[in-house]
Structure 1
Amino acid sequence: MARFGFRHWLPAFLAITGTSGTFASSHVPRATWPNGPFVTSGRWIQDAAGSTVTYVGVNWPGSLDAMIPEGLQYQSIESIVSRIKGLGMNAVRLTYAIEMIDQYYDNEQTDVTIQKALTDALGQDGGGSVYDKIISNNPSFNTSTTRLEVYDAIAAECAKQEIYVHLDNHVSKAGWCCSPLDGNSWWGDEYFNVDNWTRGLSFMASRGKTWTNLMSMSLRNELRIPLTSASVANTYSWEQWYSYVKQGAVAINKANADVLIFLSGLNSDQDLSPVVNGTALTPGTATFNRDDFSGYGDKLVLELHAYDNIIGPGPSNCTAVEEKLFNTGFKALTDDAANQFPMVLTEFGLVQNGTAAQDPYVSCLLDYVPSRNAGWMIWQLGGSYYIREGTQDFDETWGLLNHDWTDWRSSDFINSSLAPAVKKTFTINNDPDPNSSSPGTSDNESKGANLRSMLTSGLFDLPLPFHTAILATLVVVFY
């Protein structure tokens, strides 16, 4: 027997009742972007109306020596955000260093100005020159503008252009990341003070409450075994990871209960398998339990990183790449996982040269991740840094933009690989047929999403006698 969906019987229903097909718009206004706060339900991120949200974005570093988001000496904030928007993306992963908050407290709770920050990082001449260019491109800034106010301005412009902000705690001591020798690797490492870390998370979560589009925060970028101290290295384990992750999650949630909290794994965030599989958090016997995050268990998201030089299988073997990602975390998106979570690939990337569009490894990722209904954010946006590893105006060949942030470094990669992947992700995750199951979803999940959509569409603003008839029809149609 033919199965009729909502789109088939609604026109006939409206004809019988004499109701205009536009009745909903007069009763229920369009949800105001970003329609937060977001929550999680199984493997999905959902907005306040229960609609699925998929992150697709780019990294924008702000955690290097100057502790100011990069590129402002070349372009305005508005222009840079417009580049993100122009790709069709909806999110930015904005990195920061705990050292910025440490200096705030050391300076009697007053942030450092961008002028001083640049002079400290680049010297009097270098800092002064870059400062003048930043002010020229961003005339709302002046000698009293602080680093945190730059973050505020970026968040405001992202909100204006409808871009979600995800704050990423990239390092403790500001600088280039990530090495097992940089003192930022693991809790207790040379610069990774636990109390300062939780204070910094709390501070940024609290400040972000004034940003309408701060939707999520990470706990820490690329945890890895520290090689600066044998005693600290001996604490590197899943058991210790769990202890500290709970502390960080509490710090964020107490300061800002609205934001999602991203959990990164071990091995430079390439492994979350014990969390997904519910196996022992070694060397102990305890397992990951969402109840340990009481009151905000529906705020947790997993994140992984993937680079072809460290992930393991050959970059041209898509099957091996997919199996590796599945086994280390993407299984969280399936019913077979002991603990289901949304998953976001928050870092992957490649050198932006003439062959970038043909890179087999990234091509695998840009095919696999969207097909799993997962979010992603590529590393990284900008073509240069104020200073990196002692070199001023460092050229970033992995940057999507060229050195002066005026154009794409590899337009072929943008046009033939990246932009189509953005479109593909949103096409897959916003299936136009309300009766078809999205890839990776169960039939019941799909039907539930359809029902939620109908219940929030204004349909039930009809007079009471119609409610019973509609609900009876829903039972027949969907079940």
Structure 2
Amino acid sequence: MKFLTSLVALAGLCAALPQKRQGSWPNGPLVTNGRWAQDAAGNTVNFAGTNWPGHGEVMVPEGLQYQSIEGVVSKIKSIGMNAIRLTFAIELVDQIYANDGKDIDLKTAFVNGLGEANGTAVLAQVLANNPSFTEETTRLEVYDAIAAECAKQEIYILLDNHMSKGKWCCSGNDGNTWWGDREFDAANWVRGLAYMAEHGKSWTALVAMSLRNELREASDNPDLVAASYHWQDWYKYIQQGTDAVNAANPDVLIYLSGLNYDTTVAPVFRGTALTPGTETFDLADFEGYADKLVLEIHNYEGGIGSCSSLRYNLYTKGFQAMNESDPATVNVFPVALTEFGFNMNDATWQNTYASCLAEYLPEYKASWFIWVLVGSYYTRQGTQNFDESWGLLNVDWSDWRNPEYVEQQLKPMVAATLA
């Protein structure tokens, strides 16, 4: 009953949000105020968007062999979305440092990622669709072009560190699970975050950065799990990451992800012990930028049997942080569902999971990013031109994979979230 009472109270808070005068987009820098993100005029800013991966082996955002950047961003904009979660790998920055401060050009990136023959062929397609690029264009110049187009079309960017090594995510044995895993060097991670935060200062559309995607147990490294996989070390490393990002770019919001593939951030908002220690999350530890912190969670409970169960799980693992009237909420934050998704090739969108999220997220005015935009990947898990059945777009990025879903559920969900 307390859970239901809390939901009613939170829904009431969401009912009517006063809007103030809007300055020039994005009217930043954005800050948090309780459970809301706000622009410089105090207007509430919610995100309804999708994930655009760039963390794969090529380390260039996907799909450009099929469409122009303008075309992809226009497609996102056409259904009312106002944001993308744009991902990158720390390896991109590591290679810049190893190359005397110079980024890798597209020719090298595609050949390294796809092999000489396929890399050369796919790059030719990229250049044909994006004629402002050449073989000498760098990877970060592609990111710059995406950021410029997003600014032109008023699409906010959440820049997400998805992996350390450029490749598909995620599993328990991929070497990228937790600080100290074989490919997850903590110092390089901090350096990479700072570099991208500094680089992104020139991106008008960049309003937020996420520290790390889906922190998780290393299934092949029990010693690391025993020594470090816990909330106490999470807090230590998270502070290093937030300090680095804020020092390099004090304007951006900073998204904090939790444990178990980012399915829970409960100790953060409940103010309980960050075990095995006794310390608790304290906003005073983020001196000068406590109003920049946002929590994020993921949910892939596609087989769940009831909407009430899904609502309960989302609330107790994350969304409770948005309900200051709940006596168990110690620290109040905005919370975003930065990943959820399902198969787009059939009628899965009509099941309990998808239908419930389409109702629940707008009701809470929670920001969200559906996984995933891409119709295909340059390469994924050894398969080139991998057809993504969960993608909003079809394999050649020319149209929606499931137009019925987009028209009947996704577009109304976007509109209701941003209303």
Q: What TM-score comes out, normalization by structure 2 length?
A: 0.93
| Alignment RMSD (CA, Å) | 1.1
State the distance in 2 between where 1:362 and 1:115 align.
40
Alignment of 1:37-436 (within 5 A): 37-234=29-226, 235-308=228-301, 315-335=304-324, 336=326, 337-427=329-419
- Are the counterparts in 2 of residues 382 and 405 from structure 1 also a CA contact under 8 Å? yes
Cα displacement (A) at 1:30:
5.5
State the distance in 2 between where 1:325 and 1:29 align.
33
One-letter amino acid of the counterpart of residue 81, structure 1? V
State the distance in 1 between where 2:416 and 2:273 align.
37
Cα displacement (A) at 1:201:
0.2
SS, match of residue 261 in structure 2: helix
Cα displacement (A) at 1:144:
1.2
Cα displacement (A) at 1:29:
8.8
- Are the counterparts in 2 of residues 357 and 416 from structure 1 also a CA contact under 8 Å? no
State the distance in 2 between where 1:74 and 1:100 align.
23
One-letter amino acid of the counterpart of residue 384, structure 2? Q
State the distance in 1 between where 2:367 and 2:251 align.
20
SS, match of residue 109 in structure 1: coil
Deviations along 1:317-341, one digit per CA (max 9) or x if unpaired, are 0000000111101001111211000
Aligned to 1:468: none
State the distance in 2 between where 1:356 and 1:131 align.
34
State the distance in 2 between where 1:120 and 1:152 align.
21
Aligned to 1:437: none
State the distance in 2 between where 1:84 and 1:44 align.
24
Cα displacement (A) at 1:229:
1.8
Cα displacement (A) at 1:316:
2.9
State the distance in 2 between where 1:263 and 1:371 align.
23
State the distance in 1 between where 2:417 and 2:305 align.
22
- Are the counterparts in 2 of residues 346 and 378 from structure 1 also a CA contact under 8 Å? yes
One-letter amino acid of the counterpart of residue 242, structure 2? A
One-letter amino acid of the counterpart of residue 182, structure 1? D
State the distance in 2 between where 1:357 and 1:297 align.
38
Deviations along 1:242-290, one digit per CA (max 9) or x if unpaired, are 0000000001000000000000000100011101100000000010000
State the distance in 1 between where 2:237 and 2:330 align.
22
State the distance in 2 between where 1:303 and 1:377 align.
10
Q: Which has the larger radius of gyration?
A: 1
Cα displacement (A) at 1:228:
2.7
- Are the counterparts in 2 of residues 57 and 377 from structure 1 also a CA contact under 8 Å? yes
Deviations along 1:104-136, one digit per CA (max 9) or x if unpaired, are 000111111111110111111100110100000
Runs of 5+ in structure 2 lacking a partner?
A: 1-19
One-letter amino acid of the counterpart of residue 64, structure 2? L
Aligned to 1:16: none
SS, match of residue 251 in structure 1: helix
- Are the counterparts in 2 of residues 356 and 413 from structure 1 also a CA contact under 8 Å? no
Q: Which stretches of structure 1, 4 residues or longer, exceed 2 Å deviation after superposition?
A: none
- Are the counterparts in 1 of residues 47 and 418 from structure 2 also a CA contact under 8 Å? no
- Are the counterparts in 1 of residues 22 and 41 from structure 2 also a CA contact under 8 Å? no
Aligned to 1:449: none
Alignment of 1:18-37 (within 5 A): 31-37=23-29
Runs of 5+ in structure 1 lacking a partner?
A: 1-27, 428-479
SS, match of residue 25 in structure 2: coil
Deviations along 1:382-408, one digit per CA (max 9) or x if unpaired, are 100001111111110110000000000
State the distance in 2 between where 1:232 and 1:196 align.
18
- Are the counterparts in 1 of residues 21 and 41 from structure 2 also a CA contact under 8 Å? no
- Are the counterparts in 1 of residues 34 and 334 from structure 2 also a CA contact under 8 Å? yes
- Are the counterparts in 2 of residues 42 and 341 from structure 1 also a CA contact under 8 Å? yes
Equivalences, count: 396
State the distance in 1 between where 2:169 and 2:237 align.
20
State the distance in 1 between where 2:22 and 2:284 align.
35
Cα displacement (A) at 1:39:
0.2
Alignment of 1:456-471 (within 5 A): none
State the distance in 2 between where 1:239 and 1:380 align.
32
State the distance in 2 between where 1:366 and 1:282 align.
35
State the distance in 2 between where 1:175 and 1:146 align.
19
- Are the counterparts in 2 of residues 356 and 410 from structure 1 also a CA contact under 8 Å? no
- Are the counterparts in 2 of residues 238 and 282 from structure 1 also a CA contact under 8 Å? yes
